[in-house]
Structure 1
């Protein structure tokens, strides 16, 4: 496996053991814990001026802080998405400045491309011929696209409720799509069974060490786009919490390297119909309890049993952030409000960030001088039918 100079292997987040990335590809072989890419930061010589002098051209502008070099990457110039200021929303929330990080502008229309650029790059480096994962939709489309670019086969297990756009594009990219009756947990179980039989290379979240590693670049970009000012808060629509874990790591790395002087408060936003992270946060627990009966239209964050909840809860706690849940009705209303007040198309699932931000503002989480960023994780085009149905239900 070809790696960057400072990358020095994988560390288990549970037992602390270190492993060589050539021989260990997924979970910790000792305890089954989540593996995290590790770096020798004293070998990284990267300053603000270095980054300012580089093209704003995707993830690999941060090559020193990624495990795989640009020369070996499977990439479609994902990342470096727009950070759009929204003064009218700032006024409504009572903060100084509000921005939306618009991840819908990635190659397949979601932030999942950041993770799969790295995960599929690693799969190819490890000599895999087939990748497989369970997905609520966006990650499956992304995996199929990046596998196609890498010349690999892809196998995607999606719940029957996954949206039409994702299902269609998995097929268009040549993926082997397996529609499983039920919810995401059912698709995940079917995927595990198939992988055990077929020996496919997993790109499931936190099974591969590389998907959360790609997501940390969102944080790098946000700080750069704010002229090196760390925002006071970042609100993120949360299912498994991959992006939160990645962004918290990215913030720590920028602080370690002297590229930022603080860590932003990170907030998880969920639907009240499936909020295991919020429930654990409110209870002061270190790990979630599985959500017994998920009931939300926001399929992308309907993750009833997020396996990395201890890492997510740590990120919220150590960053000084928190967690909030709002009803589907408020989430859908927020998607419409954002579209009508800013022109930005925030999907039904993604609008949990906007709805959550309004609720956090009501709770007094933000100050009048604060700068707040909402992460729009995917294009609204994928869930346009949900938003249109919501409007029709209101007689609009």
Structure 2
């Protein structure tokens, strides 16, 4: 495998077992827990100038902190997305600065591209022929794109409610798609059944592969570097499965431990009221979230009733002095439209939960007057423009 100098293997989050990355690709062989890429940071000699001397054009500019050499990467130019100021929102929230990290500018219009770039690189390094996963939509489009770049096949299982754009582009990128009646849980069950009969498939669901959250940690690296190596006071993520927030926790911890930053940001999970297992776990002081019964939200991208790495998510929130917040669908869709009209950015309905969540957090006094708050737009609004337009029509606009 073409691995980087500091990458030493995989460590189980649950039992602490060390797993050879050459042979281990998925869950822990000892206990079935989630695996996390591990590094020997003493092998690195990194300074802020190390990255400042490189062109800001891809997340692979941080290759020393990723498992695989940039030359071996399966890439379509993901990362290096813009950090856009939202001054009117900052005024409304009563903080110093609000910036939106616009992941809709990635190759397939989603933050999933970061994780799938690393995961498909791993699959290619392991000699896989087929990538497979169940997804609410965006990750399926991304997986089929990166599998195609790598010359691999892809099998994507989506619930029937997945938007037309995701479904269409899965096929356009050459993926085989199974549309499963129902919601994401039904798609996952169908995928697991088929995976049991096709064990040569390389599963690419978050935390089933250890590489999805690893690619997403580069988003936090970029935010800090774009702010002149100043850590924002808070980062708010729309949260379903939670790979992006877990990645941010790991990325922020790495920068701090390497002496590149002086602090870590408070990390906040924003969910929809109709499916908020992380919010409820925080409110009830649980160490593991309970599965959400009867999820019901228009924001399908974050409608994950049982996050696979829920315990890790809660750790990320608590260890950074962050929090979790939920808002109703009306507030979420209103927030997406407000950003489109005041900032010009197109947020997906699910991603707009970061905006409505931040507004609610500000109302609760979570932020101070001079704070810099970063909101993450996890996917482009044109993927589900019909949802936002329908919301306007219901308002008679």
The alignment's TM-score, normalised by the length of structure 2, stands at 0.99
Deviation (angstroms), 1:72: 0.8
Structure 1 unaligned regions, length at least 5: none
Paired with 2:104 and 2:21, the residues of 1 have a C-alpha distance of 31
- Secondary structure in structure 1 of the residue aligned to 2:23: coil
Deviation (angstroms), 1:360: 0.1
User: Over the residues paired in the alignment, what is the CA RMSD in angstroms?
Assistant: 0.5
Q: Residue in 1 aligned with 2:228?
A: 227
Q: Residue in 2 aligned with 1:348?
A: 349
Q: Residue in 1 aligned with 2:306?
A: 305
Find out whether 1:368 has 2:369 as its counterpart: yes
- Secondary structure in structure 2 of the residue aligned to 1:260: coil
Aligned residue runs from structure 1 range 121-140, under 5 A = 121-140=121-140
Q: Residue in 2 aligned with 1:4?
A: 4
Paired with 1:101 and 1:151, the residues of 2 have a C-alpha distance of 31
Deviation (angstroms), 1:346: 1.0
Q: Residue in 1 aligned with 2:93?
A: 93
Paired with 2:59 and 2:204, the residues of 1 have a C-alpha distance of 18
Paired with 1:21 and 1:380, the residues of 2 have a C-alpha distance of 37
Q: Residue in 2 aligned with 1:194?
A: 194
Structure 2 unaligned regions, length at least 5: none
Q: Residue in 1 aligned with 2:18?
A: 18
Q: Residue in 1 aligned with 2:392?
A: 391
Q: Residue in 2 aligned with 1:267?
A: 268
Deviation (angstroms), 1:85: 1.1
Paired with 1:255 and 1:281, the residues of 2 have a C-alpha distance of 25
Deviation (angstroms), 1:60: 1.0
- Secondary structure in structure 1 of the residue aligned to 2:315: helix
- Secondary structure in structure 2 of the residue aligned to 1:117: helix
Paired with 1:238 and 1:183, the residues of 2 have a C-alpha distance of 17
Please list the CA deviations of residues 138-164 of structure 1 after superposition, one character each: whole Å capped at 9, or x if unmatched: 000000000000000000000000000
- Secondary structure in structure 1 of the residue aligned to 2:131: strand
Please list the CA deviations of residues 335-371 of structure 1 after superposition, one character each: whole Å capped at 9, or x if unmatched: 0111111111111110000000000000000000100
Q: Residue in 2 aligned with 1:205?
A: 206
Q: Residue in 2 aligned with 1:379?
A: 380
Aligned residue runs from structure 1 range 321-340, under 5 A = 321-340=322-341
Paired with 1:189 and 1:3, the residues of 2 have a C-alpha distance of 33
Please list the CA deviations of residues 161-214 of structure 1 after superposition, one character each: whole Å capped at 9, or x if unmatched: 000000000010110000000000110111111111012110111000000000
Paired with 2:259 and 2:82, the residues of 1 have a C-alpha distance of 24
- Secondary structure in structure 2 of the residue aligned to 1:234: strand
- Secondary structure in structure 2 of the residue aligned to 1:216: helix
Find out whether 1:61 has 2:61 as its counterpart: yes
Q: Residue in 2 aligned with 1:185?
A: 185
Deviation (angstroms), 1:2: 1.6
